[in-house]
Amino acid sequence: MSSLTLTLIQTALHWENKQANLAMLEEKITGIKERTEIVILPEMFSTGFSMQPERWAEKMDGPTITWMRRMAQQQRIILTGSVIIEENGNYYNRLIWMLPTGDYGCYDKRHLFAYAGEHEHYTPGNKRLIASVKGWKINLQICYDLRFPVWARQSPEGTRDTAPEYDLLIYVANWPEKRSLPWKTLLQARAIENQCFVAGVNRVGADGNGFAHSGDSMLIDPLGNSIFHKQHDEAVATFTLQKENLEQVRARFPFWKDGDTFILSHGE
């Protein structure tokens, strides 16, 4: 069975300052001592959770994507996190899955955080992105998506004989401290109900609107047990996951086979 090594970067962000954020993150990434394969950054890592996309958005050939490509190639890693992208006159909170080859995949945040007015500035996505690495399937989602279990549910069109759709679920976030209990609880719930590993990477510190973030980045196993949890402080944490452990859980407790069959609509 294969293994997969992840590095979670929990950090404070410089408010709406791309140059400072990219320089800070480059220092953290190049400072990783352990061998790693995937490096996970928070949501909107180059700006913070900004509602000014008309000011900070860039194209897919812009400076942040160029930086991600350079870092992935230089460090021989997969680098992921979300950034503000403009495309065809629309703004997206877009997760980039940057490969060391320079190729990439994209996921546009489906559930926009109306409580903060995100839906007034950004266009929602309508398609999930499940990446493949070394035989692992990885479902990539963003922050507020965490509150909507159907969007993460395994094998939405499957049957009892269909294998689980993915093995690892990743959430990148700017989740405020005042709602940290739902963040931690729902991360564990997603791991338990989907019988998968879950990584949630959040920021720390106050943003430009004065909202505090406690981090609470977590790595959770398929039974809901916490492998890693860091509160308040910055952290660069690397862990190796074993596919064998996941398969043992699914074989011993094949709850996924009894899930309800349903069709997940990807409507506009």
Q: Which residues are catalytic?
A: 43, 109, 143
Q: What is the C-alpha separation between 17 and 190, in angstroms, rounded?
A: 33
- Cα four-point dihedral sign 99, 44, 6, 36: positive
Q: Is 105 exposed, middle or buried (0-12, 13-18, 19+ CB in 10 A)?
A: middle
Which residue do the tokens 């996941």 mark? Answer: 246
Q: Check if the beta carbon of residue 238 is closer than 8 Å to that of residue 7.
A: yes
In degrees and rounded to multiples of 5, residue 5 shows phi and psi of: -105, 125
Q: What is the C-alpha separation between 243 and 253, in angstroms, rounded?
A: 15
Q: What is the C-alpha separation between 252 and 229, in angstroms, rounded?
A: 26
Q: Check if the beta carbon of residue 133 is closer than 8 Å to that of residue 4.
A: yes
